[in-house]
Structure 1
Amino acid sequence: MTKETGTRNKGELLVEEKQELLQGLKARFEKNRHRHEDLDWTEVQAKLDEHPEKLWSLNEMERTGGEPDVVGYSKEKDAYIFYDCSKESPKGRRSVCYDRAALESRKKYKPETSAMDLAASMGIEMLTEEQYRSLQELGEFDLKTSSWVHTPEKIRELGGALFCDRRFDHVFLYHNGAESYYKARGFRGSLHV
């Protein structure tokens, strides 16, 4: 909060919001031990305490329906890895085209924003195909929805973008025009803490 205005700056959480978020993350962590069998919440909590700025991004993931949870630890980055683990593509991030160029290319019926812009505004990264497939090893996700995934530049230069879902007990990778958007397609993000 700024003293002059009494308003919050982007990236800040109120004490109550922080406590509520941490309680929710801890409860999800404990309920879903299969996602992080060898990890300990007290160590995750210590990292979050060291990097309080990451709480804002986690809160944005939570606020938009992502249900973020720890899915691993990177020794290389000395960081815990959070992914959106909601059963379906996060509800508050659907009906978006792939990126800013795709959004600007639409003449009619433009969506509010793009997946890449929204991820950047939240301080998170969109999952890659590899990350999406690793998430699917932890459970069954996107049985009714689909999620944009980070698209290689060569595909994007040709106007395409990639998305994934799970059907028939198999993870599928598809392509679409980057400017397309559907009410059942959003994106999943990752955050290192």
Structure 2
Amino acid sequence: MKELLPDQVEELLEILKNRFEDNMVRHEDVQWEKVQEKLVANPEKLWSLNEMEVTGGEPDVVGYDKETDEYIFYDCSAESPSGRRSVCYDHEALEKRKKNKPENSAINMATDMGIEILTEEQYRELQKLGNFDLKTSSWVKTPDNIRKLGGAIFCDRRYDTVFMYHNGADSYYAARGFRGSLRV
């Protein structure tokens, strides 16, 4: 199991608490103490949140699922996380690319981090909490029918509007990364 050292846990909890308190509009009816209890009880989730943090995602609580008793974290960095850019969509696309191959793919990285890539719906929910990806874009979970045809989708915000676009799944750009979600 992937776990943080005690001093890493303490440092991460402090970062998350400060971000939580500075952005109450994202989670008005949530109490930090309850979130922290869940985090401390789930060290593997703390490890994943730390991975989100160190790759520039600035994870924060964006909701609570009463049915599953889980807090929902999304990457809330202003732009697509800097440590997760210049990646193609998935492993299949990475393998098909013969020249100028990126180092990794969005789906591989998310899996390794223990998180899920945001869906288009989740991305649009995030955009209701602020203005994200004004200069960058983020891969989002691509429907199977699009992926089978070689494509993948990504989103960004321009002209005060959230746009969804398509590209070949093997494409990658310095300004495109991905955002993740984690349920704790």
Q: TM-score range by the shorter chain?
A: over 0.9
Q: How does 1:133-152 map to 2 (within 5 A)?
A: 133-152=124-143
SS at match of 1:181: coil
- Structure 2: which amino acid aligns with 1:192? R
In 1, Cα distance between equivalents of 2:43 and 2:33: 15
Q: CA deviation at 1:67?
A: 0.1
Q: Counterpart of 1:110 in structure 2: which amino acid?
A: K
Residue of structure 2 in register with 1:3 after alignment: none
Match in the other structure for 2:56: 65
**Structure 1 counterpart SS, 2:138:** strand
Please state if 1:190 is matched with 2:181. yes
Structure 2 counterpart SS, 1:144: coil
Tell me the distance in 2 between the aligned counterparts of 1:180 and 1:76: 38
In the TM superposition, what whole-angstrom CA distance separates every residue of 1:54-110 from its partner, at most 9, and x where no partner exists? 000000000000000000001122100000000000000000000000000001000
1:38 aligned residue (29, 38, 42): 29
Task: Choose the corresponding residue for 2:91, options 100, 108, 114.
Answer: 100
Q: Equivalent residue for 1:7? A: none
Secondary structure of 1:141 counterpart: coil
Instruction: Give, as a single letter, the amino acid of the residue that structure 2 aligns with 1:147.
Output: S
Letter in 1 for 2:44: E
Give the structure-1-normalised TM-score.
0.94
- For the pair shown, which has the larger CA radius of gyration, 1 or 2? 1
Match of 1:180 in 2: 171
Q: Is 2:40–2:46's contact at 8 Å kept on the other side of the alignment? A: no
Q: Confirm or deny that 1:49 pairs with 2:45.
A: no
Structure 1 residue 119 displacement after superposition: 0.2
* Separation (CA, whole Å) in 1 of partners of 2:40 and 2:97: 43
Residue 12 of structure 2 corresponds to which residue in structure 1?
A: 21
**Normalising to structure 2: TM-score of the pair?**
0.99
Structure 1: where are the runs of 5+ without partners?
1-9
Amino acid at match of 1:189: G
Quote the offset at 1:14 in angstroms: 1.2
Asked whether 1:77 is paired with 2:68, we answer yes
Write the distance in 1 (CA, Å) between the matches of 2:67 and 2:96: 39
Deviation >2 Å, runs of 4+: none
- The amino acid of 2:25's aligned partner reads H
2:28 aligned counterpart, secondary structure:
coil
Unaligned runs of 5+ in 2: none
CA–CA distance in structure 2, aligned partners of residues 105 and 76 of structure 1? 41
Q: Distance in 2 between matches of 1:144 and 1:77?
A: 35
